Amino acid sequence: MSDASPSTPGCLKLGEVTIVDTFAEAFPMTAARVVVTAASIAWARTAGTVMTGYATSVIACDAEAGIERELTPEETPDGRPGLAVLLFAFNRESLEKAVVKRVGQCVMTCPTTACYDGIADRSKLIRVGGKLRRFGDGFQISKVIGGRRYWRIPVMDGEFVCEDEFGTVKGVGGGNILILGCSGAETLAAAERAVEKVRGIEGVIMPFPGGVVRSGSKVGSKYKGQIASTNHAYAPTLKSLVTSDLPAGANCCYEIVIDGLSPEIVAQAMRVALHEAAASPGVVAISAGNYGGKLGPFHFRLSDCLSDDGGGR
Amino acid sequence: MSWTISARPDAIPATRVEARHLVQALQAGCDIAAARSIALAVGRIHVPLQALATVEKSAGTDDCIFCVGDFSRWDGLGFGLKSGQLIVEGDTGARTAAELVGGTVEIHGNCGAWAGAAMSGGRLIVHGETGDWLGANWPGELRGMTGGEIFVHGRARHHVGVRMRRGTIAVAGPVGEGAGRGMIAGSILLAGFTQGIVGQGMKRGTIVLGPYADCRTSISATGFPEADCFRPHTLGIQLSHAAAAGWKPAGAMLCCRSVRRYLGDRLNHGLGEILVLSDSAEGATAYT
């Protein structure tokens, strides 16, 4: 959710679709990749889905999280089907708290699951299994294999295995595009196409429901204590009341927010989303949300996303 | 830089050679003359290294020491190694890689007793056989090895991993009596036949017995009443890691269909486990 910039004078074209010459403003975040395995991919999906619930935006959630991709048994440490979940938070401390709570309440409770670190860089770590181990009430077992510690916690269907520490990396949160379309149905279809395409990219998640945001926000409000409020410039029902950023013919706007493990990956995902959305019928324009460029160090210009090599700095 | 120490066949020592300081002295950055004059205790006298072996030094970035020849009377080779590599093309004596901290010691031959004793890190690979007390504790000490990995491709004699606290010992061939006795934690993988009772008095830790072990004679019936047939997920991780390290039986053990899991030693209020792998479908695990 981000504050949209006011209309910018420069406009580009991708086919018939107007590409507003603006940029997405993104922020550094700390990220972890949790590999969840289970006896079947269905149970892994269940654990992953529950674990990534209520994790859309750090405005009000403890972390932003999403399922990155599904993993074959050959790709997981214990040879079972699984999936990779990416979690993002503002710093390592808050990420650790979020991961411990989510693994403890959503993965450990799910039948047959186990949990492993999916980040190769082990220089900066958060402790997860080491904090959950006490659930074992003294019956937990530690195994150090290849320099990595695993905790085996006895539970009612056998054991819950969780790696002691998880690696973290500096990621990027808040890459985005705004899809402006003629009708709600056409704009949603375009957003769905874009989300589907981005899902194939490794290292990114779209933390909002189905990858799509309908309640884009701006910073602040007329009400004291409200830190974010509706992005009125893109609300079609307010077109006649406020200075609207919706171009002529646009009656709906959906935002796709992208968090990634590096600026390059976010830029690539934005480029893919932009091209896919622009190719959908009924899309009038594509824009991006920012805060004037003063808050986030990462600026992903849509004009850079038009080229094949992506953008972002 | 790397060093090559070639045992002189015309200077086989009449008694044991104490070589525990040799590797550390070579890694300290001495020149060839100083290396040749490193004093080694042979019985009650000290002789320079060049009296027993030829020494060559070659430039390079790899911190590696090659020992070629018969070092079966040299005790303490690789003792306390912290980094780098020690590769021996031949047999070594007692205390090989004992108190190893880091790096890799690879023996293309047989080792004497106390190989890897009280080691705390690094990796010891033995392509031949080892003597007694592999990865065990020093006499009177409470803890055996406290970290690192030992992979033995041949057999090991008695008292493997006695009082080990952490780390992994994997032996492909048969082992003698008393494996894992008084084990505090860690893992012992035994692919071959086991002599006598294993894991006697263990507090925690895991002993994995391959399909060739006879659990009727290997496991104390009173100390380890059969508990369940749960196959821990970490077993696959551990065996995969061992397979990646080149320990050959791991592949076959990964394919074993059933696991029987014994907890104990109850006579010592222990929470250790002995996992018995089997090819038979009988008693196949109900868990995935």
Residue at B23 is within a domain:
no
**A157: contact with B, CB 8 A cutoff:** yes
Range of the domain at B122: 62-278
CATH number at residue B107: 2.160.20.60
- Residue among B144, B272, B141 nearest B201 (CA): B272
pLDDT (0 to 100) of residue B214? 72
Sign of the CA dihedral running A202, A208, A214, A220: negative
Q: Write out chain B's pLDDT in tens, 288 residues.
A: 899 999 998 888 889 999 999 999 999 888 999 999 999 999 999 999 999 999 999 887 678 999 999 999 999 999 999 999 999 999 999 999 999 999 999 999 999 999 999 999 999 999 999 999 999 999 999 999 999 999 999 999 999 999 999 999 999 999 999 999 999 999 999 999 999 999 999 999 999 999 887 777 788 888 998 778 999 999 999 999 999 999 999 999 999 888 999 999 999 999 999 999 987 544 433 333
Residue among B237, B238, B288 whose CB faces A39 most closely: B288
C-alpha A241/C-alpha A149 separation (Å) is: 60
Residue at B27 is within a domain:
no
ipTM, 2 dp: 0.90
Contacts of A112 in chain B (CB under 8 A): 288
The phi, psi pair for B17, rounded to 5°, reads: -110, 125
Interface test with B, best of A117, A133, A143 (most B CBs within 10 A): A143
Find the residue in B nearest to A149 (Cα). B234
Report how many domains make up chain B. 1
C-alpha B36/C-alpha A194 separation (Å) is: 71
C-alpha A25/C-alpha A10 separation (Å) is: 18
Residue at B271 is within a domain:
yes
- Residue among A255, A240, A248 nearest A287 (CA): A255
C-alpha A107/C-alpha A34 separation (Å) is: 10
C-alpha B136/C-alpha B171 separation (Å) is: 14
Residue at B29 is within a domain:
no
Which distant-in-sequence residues (6+ apart) come within 8 Å of A182 by Cβ? A249, A250, A251, A252, A282, A283, A284
Contacts of A78 in chain B (CB under 8 A): 233-234, 236-237
Find the residue in B nearest to A157 (Cα). B287
Q: Beta strands B187-190 and B166-171: pairing type?
A: parallel
Residue at B3 is within a domain:
no
Contacts of A152 in chain B (CB under 8 A): 232-234
Contacts of B166 in chain A (CB under 8 A): 144
In this model, does residue A3 exceed pLDDT 50? no
Tell me if A39 and B271 make a contact (CB, 8 A cut-off).
no
Contacts of B187 in chain A (CB under 8 A): 143, 145
Size of interface A-B (CB pairs under 8 A): 49
Contacts of A139 in chain B (CB under 8 A): 271
- Cα dist. B109→A118, B10, B125, B153, B193 in Å? 38, 20, 10, 10, 21
Mean pLDDT of A127-137: 97
Q: Quick one: residue B118, left, alpha or beta (phi over 0 = left, psi -120 to 50 = alpha)?
A: left
- Cα dist. A289→A22, A26, A93, A191 in Å? 8, 9, 28, 16
The domains located in chain A, with CATH, are 11-27+171-306 (3.30.70.520), 30-169 (3.30.70.520)
Residue B101 CB: number of other CB atoms within 10 A? 14
Residue at B287 is within a domain:
no
C-alpha B41/C-alpha A224 separation (Å) is: 83
Tokens representing B152 are 């033995």
A40-85 tens-digit pLDDT: 999 999 999 999 999 999 999 999 999 999 999 999 999 999 999 9
Residue at B91 is within a domain:
yes
In this model, does residue A295 exceed pLDDT 70? yes
C-alpha B145/C-alpha A190 separation (Å) is: 61
Tell me if A139 and B288 make a contact (CB, 8 A cut-off).
no
Residue at B30 is within a domain:
no
The pTM for the full model equals 0.91
**A220: contact with B, CB 8 A cutoff:** no
